[in-house]
Amino acid sequence: MNSERESAPLTLGEARRQGAEHLRQAGVEEADADAELLLLYVLGIGKSTLLRDWRDPFPAEKRETWDKLLERRGTGIPVQYVIGEQHFFGRPFEVSEAVLIPRPETELLAEAVLDIATRLWPDPAVPPVVLDVGTGSGALAVTFAAERPEWRVFASDLSEDALRVAGRNAVRHGVEERITFVQGDLLSPFMASAGNEYPQIDILVSNPPYIPSSDIPELQREVRDHEPRLALDGGEDGLNPYRIMAGQLKGLIGIPRVVAMEVGIHQAEEVAEFLRAAADWAEIRYVKDYAGIDRHVVAIK
C-alpha cells in the first residue's frame, strides 16, 4: 500500500474499492467480496448499513487496522481466519487454522439430516442420539443441538485444538450442556470393544478429509497453506476415512439408523458401495450441492 493511498481521505465506498484492488494485485480471487467482508468487520456494521452510508468518511482511527487486515488477506490467509469467524446455518462460528472453514454445501448435509430425522423420530420425547465425526469447528454438532434441543449430540475429533474451538462455539450458542465432546480417531472411541458407556448411535454424520494426498499441492494457496492438513488429506485416493468408518460400523453397539457423509467430487458412488458392503439399508440417496455435484451420501435403515 503506497503512502498516497494511506494519507488520502476516504469514503467507505472508496475504501472498499481500493481494498479490493489491493487484494486483486495480491492474487486474491474473491477480492471484491473479501474486501467488503473485511470492511464490514472493521466497521462493525452490516451490509445494508454500508450501502446506506456508502459516501460517509472512513473513520481515521480504524485505518491502521483496515490496512493490516488487507495485508494479512493479501498474503493468502483465508478471510475467515483473518476475522476469526464464519457463518454456518445462520450462526457465527469461531474459526482458526486449527479447523476447516465450514462450507455452504455442508449446510445441505445439515438440512438433509434434520429433515430425515424429523420423519424417523417424530416424537420429541424419543429423540435420536447423534454423532458428528471429525467435528472441527463444531458447526454440524452445534447446529443440531441448537435446532433440535431434545437431541443428545456427541462430537468427536482427533485434534485437541479443534475440540477446543468446537467447545467455545458450543458455549457461544448456549448448547455446551447438550454436546459431549470426545477425542479420538473416527469411530474408534465408540466401538463396543472400547469398553465405554456411550449409547448406541442413531445418526452418524461426518464431513471427513476427502482430498487425495497427491492433489493437496495443487489446491488454492488459501486451503493448501492454511487449512489443517489433518482435515483435508483423505489418503492416496481420498477415500480412507470412508473405507475405515464403513468397516467400523459393525463394531458399534448397533448399526446407526442413518449414516450421512459429505464426499468429494466423483466419490459418492464409491462411498455408497462401502456402506452397502457394511450393512443392509432400506435406501441410499445422494444430495447434490449448489453446483449439481453429488456431495452427500445418506444411508437409511
The CATH code of domain 3-75 reads: 1.10.8
DSSP letter string, 3-23? HHHHHS--BHHHHHHHHHHHH
What confidence tens digit (pLDDT) does each residue in 160-199 have?
A: 999 999 999 999 999 999 999 999 999 999 998 888 889 9
135 has binding-site annotation: yes
Helices (DSSP H) in 27-159: which residue ranges? Answer: 31-43, 47-52, 63-74, 79-83, 104-120, 139-147
Cβ contacts of 258 within 8 Å, gap of 6 or more: 113, 116, 117, 120, 128, 202, 203, 204, 298, 299, 300, 301
Q: Is 2 assigned a ligand-binding role in the annotation? A: no
Q: Is 209 one of the annotated binding-site residues?
A: yes
Strands 258-262 and 203-206: parallel
Other residues' Cβ atoms within 10 Å of the Cβ of residue 82: 20
The predicted model scores a pTM of 0.91
Superfamily (CATH) of domain 86-300: Vaccinia Virus protein VP39 (3.40.50.150)
Q: Is 136 a known ligand-binding residue? A: yes
Q: Has 195 been labeled as part of a binding site?
A: no
In the chain, domain spans = 3-75, 86-300
What cell was used for 51? 450501502
> How would you class 228 by CB atoms within 10 Å of its CB: exposed for 0-12, middle for 13-18, buried for 19 or more?
middle
237 alpha carbon, distance to own chain's centre: 22
Q: Is 280 annotated as a binding residue?
A: no
Q: With beta carbons less than 8 A apart as the criterion, state whether 85 and 95 touch.
A: yes
The DSSP secondary structure of 256-291, one letter per residue, reads -SEEEEE--TT-HHHHHHHHHHH---SEEEEEE-TT
The reply to whether 174 sits in an annotated binding site is no
- DSSP tag of 202: S
Annotated ligand binding at 196? The verdict is no
Residue owning grid cell 476475522:
83
**Mean pLDDT per 10-residue segment, the chain (301 residues):** 55 96 95 96 94 94 96 96 96 97 97 97 95 98 98 97 98 98 96 88 96 90 89 90 97 97 97 97 97 97 94
Q: How many whole angstroms separate alpha carbon 261 and alpha carbon 129? A: 16
Q: Check residue 7 and give its pLDDT.
A: 53
Q: Tell me, what's the pLDDT at 4? A: 43
